[in-house]
Amino acid sequence: MLLTIVAFIVALGLLIAVHEYGHYRVAVACGVKVLRFSVGFGKPILRWQRKGSPTEFVIGAFPLGGFVRMLDEREAPVAPEERHLAFNTQPLRARAAIVAAGPVANLLLAVLLYAAVNWSGVEEPKALLASPVADSIAQQAGLRGGELVVGAALGEQDFEPVRSFEDLRWTLTRGALDGDSVRLQLQPERGQTLRELVLPLEKIEAREADAQLFRKIGIVSPWTRPVLGELMAGGAAERAGLHPGDLVQRVGASEVVDGGQLRELIRASGHSGQAPAQLWRIERDGRPLELTVQPDVVQEASGSVGRIGAYVGAMPEMVNVRYGPVEGLWKGGERTWEVSVLTLRMMGRMVIGEASIKNLSGPLTIADYAGRSAAMGLTQYLAFLALISVSLGVLNLLPLPVLDGGHLMYYLWEGLTGRSVSDAWMERLQRGGVVVLLLMMSIALFNDLTRLFG
């Protein structure tokens, strides 16, 4: 719990500080007088001011936002000799640059964070495929399990190398949410050429990037040996006499070739609401054994499934994914662009009802993932920060009046018509923007509570 709180506060503080620093740095560069730079709201818990600087730096008690207060005639009277330092007197291009600098700073931070992950390297599962889910798109396309994916491409794009299972999952996610097919290059058997295979993911009506999406695709996990790990006391596995380290070779009439297939067989046994007893053939310490196993039945959102109360499948084969200085930075920029485009597309699809509003996440989910990623190590935490930084940058560029994108919308109008938005219209738009933003925040908070406590 403490790690989650600390990781959440550090994440928010860093991302907000970078966002506001973008506004601050460009404002100073444009000759605007900055009165206060604040990370957080409420009562200041720390404040300081550099000698000779007009800016007061503040850390507030509530780290859920921040602001940069500039000299502005619309907020308070400005002395004639300082009028040229006021924000509202600056040329249109300067005002637009100052407003855009916050979201741009978040996107640049994401590039650097993704690059840092690429440079440091991360251990990820090898893109060796487990047996596909029965009747899934992957099985219908001809995958059987055990194939090594070495390249992938969206639609008719060129193939990109697949270095890990996470690379493959990202490509599949983009293909499913974009309604596009994914072409795979599979490592050939000895003496053969590269084999290509097409997954027609446009057949899936993907509304959420969740576990059910990958079950529809059929590629859920990397290949693992079908061995049993830790057993739960009193579970079906312990009752049947199974031991940790048992290698499962057959369940009923089905030959077992990998851990993913074994998990699917166990889950499928409970679909009728009552799991039948199954004859399992296993190997223990080099000796074959046959045991009768009757899985327990539990209820999930998708229906009744079987469980045996044991960790199923060995750890997958891992690879270290690391890039050089230039390639790592380039890949960081590519990933930032891809996540930004995917985020915008998902938001657009939610507006027109083609994607579920369950994709919206709020502070509780962010805090939960902050704690989980921090527990997994620095590299995973940096990747999490990069993702949230992209989301913050993209969100602030939306054309909502209370966000940076709304102000840019005003400046676009001013640039096209030669006159600024009237005060009356400004007030109406601000009110409408607040309503939309509060609605989005309410939905996100509801989704948080549903995920965490539902």
> Is 155 part of any domain?
yes
What is the reported pLDDT for 199?
92
Q: Are residues 157 and 202 in the same domain?
A: yes
Q: How far apart are CA 439 and CA 437, in angstroms?
A: 5
The active-site residue, picked from 20, 124, 147, 264, is: 20
> Is 110 part of any domain?
no
Among 407, 448, 344, smallest CA distance to 102 is for 407
Please state the domain count of the chain: 2
Residue 354 among the catalytic residues: no
Q: Tell me if 27 sits within 8 A of 70, measured CB to CB.
A: yes
Given a cut of 70, the residues of the chain with pLDDT beneath it are 1, 189-192, 206-211, 349-372, 374, 440-441, 443-454
What is the reported pLDDT for 227?
93
What is the reported pLDDT for 57?
92
Of the candidates 163, 184, 217, which is a domain's last residue? 217
* Residue 385: exposure state from Cβ atoms within 10 A (0-12, 13-18, ≥19): buried
Beta strands 318-321 and 56-70: pairing type?
A: unpaired
Q: How far apart are CA 182 and CA 75, in angstroms?
A: 53
Q: Are residues 165 and 241 in the same domain?
A: no
CATH number of the domain residue 146 falls in: 2.30.42.10
| DSSP for 205-245, written as a single string | -----SHHHHHHHT--SB----BEEEEPTTSHHHHHT--TT
State the pTM of this model: 0.80
What is the reported pLDDT for 352?
65
Q: Are residues 243 and 297 in the same domain?
A: yes
Q: Are residues 173 and 246 in the same domain?
A: no
- Number of alpha carbons in the 13 Å side-chain half-sphere of residue 267: 13
Among 99, 124, 106, smallest CA distance to 11 is for 106
> Is 269 part of any domain?
yes
Domain that holds residue 299: 228-314
Q: Are residues 184 and 238 in the same domain?
A: no
What is the reported pLDDT for 153?
92
| DSSP for 136-151, written as a single string | SHHHHHT--S-PBEEE
3-state class of 294 per DSSP?
coil
What is the reported pLDDT for 123?
86
Q: Are residues 267 and 192 in the same domain?
A: no
What is the reported pLDDT for 353?
64
